[in-house]
Amino acid sequence: MKIGYVFVAVVLGACGVASISDRYGNQYGDWYNPGGEFRWQLDLCERQIEAQATPPAERRLAMRRCMYAHGVPIDDAQRCRG
C-alpha cells in the first residue's frame, strides 16, 4: 500500500518538473516537451512584455502569444493567432 503512495508522489513530482510558469499564470511544457527547454523564450517574452508597457489586464494573453511566436507549443494555439 505504501508503495502505491510513493509511486503517485513520484509521478506527480515528475509532472511538476516538466513544466515552467510565467508570472502571469501560464504554464508551458509537458512530459514530451519539458518546460526547461523554453527558458530563453520565457525570459525574452517577459522582457518584451515589460519593455512594451503592456497593460496588466492584457499581459497573460500577450505572454502566451509571444511564447507561441517563439516556437513554444501551447495547448490552444488558435487563441494566439491573429
Grid cell at residue 46: 517577459
Tell me the three state secondary structure of residue 53.
coil
**Average pLDDT value for residue range 39-46:** 94
Structure-model confidence comparison of residues 56 and 3, the more confident one? 56
Q: Check pLDDT > 60 for residue 6.
A: no
H helices of the chain, where?
A: 2-17, 39-51, 59-69
| Residue range 58-74: mean pLDDT, rounded | 93
Task: Report the pLDDT averaged over residues 10-21.
Answer: 60
What's the pLDDT at 16?
Answer: 47
The radius of gyration of the chain's CA atoms, rounded to the nearest angstrom, is 15
